[in-house]
Amino acid sequence: MTQAGHTGASPSLGAAIGEVRGKWGWFVALGVGLILLGVIALANLFLATVATIFYIGAMMLIGGIVEIVHAFQVKTWGRFFYWLLSGAFYALAGLIAFYNPLVASAALTLLLAVTLVVAGIFRIWVGFAARPESGWGWIVATGVLTLLVGIVVYAAWPGNSLVLLGAILAIDLIFQGVGFISFGTMLRTRR
């Protein structure tokens, strides 16, 4: 038998929270750091957008290299060429992001707009298909909101591609920071 009468190797949730409770200050510090980074990103949305594109480009380049290496592990020629071409295109897209982050930013912003429009239409359809179940109206409402955001992003394209991805990064950093501060504060006050 382990703590709290549980059997097995995994600790209970209460025991896990107890272990991190003493580290509450680190969560608060991380939250403050993320908020500061978010504010810095908000202060220069263009630079934040370029940083986002470089990050995405690096991930694509690494992914492409891994796919190319994987291609040489495949035994059949058809699959070898599939993985090789897939990896080459992925790595090329990553290199383009580094070579011309403005073009990559415009492409990703357009992709975001199209994705939001399609997701909004799909949610509206799902909401109406769920009638007469309770809550179907909320699904339709979120679909309409998503569709409108997609239309707004597309209407401002390509001019918004210089700042939109940076703004999303900045807002995400700030929300993550608030979340970590809230979690750290909860750990401190909960006994």
* pLDDT of res. 63: 94
* pLDDT of res. 98: 92
Residue 172 within any structural domain of the chain: yes
Determine the Cα–Cα distance for residues 170 and 113; give it in Å rounded to an integer.
Answer: 19
* pLDDT of res. 35: 95
pLDDT: which is higher, 136 or 39: 39
Residue 2 within any structural domain of the chain: no
Cis status, amide bond into 101, omega within 30 of 0: no
Instruction: Kindly report the number of other CB atoms within 10 A of residue 19's CB atom.
Output: 10
Under the banding of pLDDT at 50, 70 and 90, the label for residue 2 is: very low
Residue 42 within any structural domain of the chain: yes
* pLDDT of res. 122: 93
> What contacts 24+ positions apart, CB below 8 Å, involve 116-122?
116/146, 116/147, 116/149, 116/150, 116/153, 117/147, 117/150, 117/151, 117/154, 118/150, 119/143, 119/146, 119/150, 120/144, 120/145, 120/146, 120/147, 120/148, 120/149, 120/150, 121/147
Q: Which residue, among 174, 124, 168, has the nearest Cα to 148 in the 3D structure?
A: 124
Residue 93 within any structural domain of the chain: yes
What is the phi/psi pair of residue 96, to 5°? -60, -40
* pLDDT of res. 78: 76
Residue 125 within any structural domain of the chain: yes
Q: Compute the average pLDDT of residues 78-106.
A: 90
* pLDDT of res. 159: 83
Residue 154 within any structural domain of the chain: yes
8 A C-beta contact, residue 143 and residue 128: no
At a CB cut-off of 8 Å and minimum separation 6, what does 161 contact?
49, 102, 105, 106, 108, 109, 110
Residue 189 within any structural domain of the chain: no
* pLDDT of res. 186: 85
Q: Compute the average pLDDT of residues 126-139.
A: 85
Q: Which residue, among 93, 97, 94, 73, has the nearest Cα to 83 in the 3D structure?
A: 73
What is the overall mean pLDDT for the chain? 86
For 14-57, what is each residue's pLDDT tens digit? 666 677 777 888 889 999 999 999 999 999 999 999 999 999 99
Q: Give the chain's domain count.
A: 1
Domain around 121:
24-184
Q: Compute the average pLDDT of residues 73-92.
A: 86
